[in-house]
Amino acid sequence: MADLRVTLCGVELKNPVIPASGTFGFGREYNEIYDISALGAVATKGLTLAPRLGNPVPRIAESRGVILNAVGLQNPGVERFIEDDLDWLRAKTKVIANVAGSTLGDYAAICKRLNGLVDFLELNISCPNVKCGGMAFGVRPESIEEVTRISKENCPDTPLIVKLSPNVESIAENARAAERGGADCVSLVNTFTGMAVDIERRRPVLANNTGGVSGAGIKPIAVRMVYEAARAVKIPVIGMGGIECAEDAVEFLMAGATAVQVGTRNFTDSLACPKIVAGLDAWCDAHGVKEVSSLTGTLKMN
């Protein structure tokens, strides 16, 4: 039995495996399959101040080794989350509230509302599927720094994770911008903007035309970006992008991540997260690793 605990911004997680925002709701559905207190934390569905209906359907498409989604931040709004789900979820495991906005004021307000109520805030400045806001803040280093600073000013008591978009010029530059703005941690990668075409109809499959690409096919790009970001900053990094098994998670940890998020794989196997937790334990045992946290950033470059 390896020690799977990791410490992220001073908060101890029982293991480094976290279901990624948008694939896991607020955890209630998956909890019907297994007790989600087995997870290190849960990243919630992206929350906004007011409820959002999201995009028209189809919202999902598939390509080889990847999926595309364009849900468009449908969510019941932060107040409903606080009222209906927060206490239940906090009793299960650590809560990462993923938050999004259309304006700087939105980000400030939602961070203020959740300050002290959740274990972490994860700033979604990288959603490719909404017209205003979302990724608009997540592309240029200057705007990343600004939205991070305003958000952090409003959540002094809660560690702030900034979720970075991969659709950018320099991931290292953007990670540094988040750190300068006061981020306590960065998570990456969000989805890559892509398109799938229905050639019979000569139309994109997604009603939104474009969507976020995720799944096993993006993993090598994600690992490279996590490596570059982790090298560029002193704050911890949460790695994600195509993780399907414990060995995939180990790649991200070695590349510099302290914890990992698992998204698309939950759709292929609803038990993916607890299997990865068990698999990490087995991998560590088989390799004489006593503490999973000792793997972080141990990659030796050729």
Judged by CB under 8 A, the stretch of 56-64, 100-108, 233-241, 288-296 that binds other proteins is: 56-64
Binding residue for other proteins, selected from 16, 22, 239, 241, defined by CB under 8 A: 22
Return the SS3 of 175. helix
Which of positions 115-174 make contact with other proteins (CB under 8 A)? none
Find out whether 173 and 199 touch, Cβ atoms under 8 Å: no
- Whether residue 58 is preceded by a cis peptide bond, meaning omega within 30 degrees of 0, is yes
Judged by CB under 8 A, the stretch of 49-57, 109-117, 189-197, 223-231 that binds other proteins is: 49-57
Number of residues that bind other proteins (CB under 8 A): 34
Q: 36: left (phi > 0), else alpha (psi -120 to 50), else beta?
A: alpha
> Per the residue annotation, which of 9, 111, 127, 185 is the catalytic one?
127
Angle in degrees, 0-180, between the axes of helices 104-114 and 141-154, rounded to the nearest 10:
30
Does 21 contact other proteins by CB under 8 A? no
Does 60 contact other proteins by CB under 8 A? yes
Tokens of 34: 């297994």
Q: Is 127 a catalytic residue?
A: yes
Q: Of 246, 212, 242, nearest to 225 (Cα)?
A: 242
CA atoms within 13 A on the CB side of 115: 14
* Rounded Cα distance, 290 and 284, in Å: 7
For 139-264, where are the alpha helices, taking DSSP H only? Answer: 141-154, 171-181, 219-232, 246-254
Does 65 contact other proteins by CB under 8 A? yes
* Rounded Cα distance, 33 and 270, in Å: 8
Cβ at position 286, least distance to other proteins in Å? 24
Tokens of 203: 């139309």
Judged by CB under 8 A, the stretch of 70-78, 118-126, 219-227, 232-240 that binds other proteins is: 70-78
Judged by CB under 8 A, the stretch of 61-69, 118-126, 232-240, 246-254 that binds other proteins is: 61-69
Which of positions 74-103 make contact with other proteins (CB under 8 A)? 74-75
- Give the residues across from 12 on adjacent strands: 7
CB of 54 or CB of 297, closer to other proteins: 54
Q: 48: left (phi > 0), else alpha (psi -120 to 50), else beta?
A: beta
Site map for other proteins, 168-207, x if CB under 8 A?
----------------------------------------
Tokens of 69: 């989604």
CB of 33 or CB of 282, closer to other proteins: 33
- Give the residues across from 123 on adjacent strands: 99, 162
Cβ at position 107, least distance to other proteins in Å? 22
Which of positions 258-277 make contact with other proteins (CB under 8 A)? 264-271
The angle formed by the CA atoms of residues 75, 18 and 26, to the nearest 5 degrees, is: 25
Does 29 contact other proteins by CB under 8 A? yes
Binding residue for other proteins, selected from 6, 13, 23, 127, defined by CB under 8 A: 23
Q: State the residues that interact with other proteins by CB under 8 A.
A: 22-25, 29-30, 32-33, 45, 53-54, 57-62, 65-67, 69, 71, 74-75, 215-216, 264-271
Catalytic residue annotation: 127
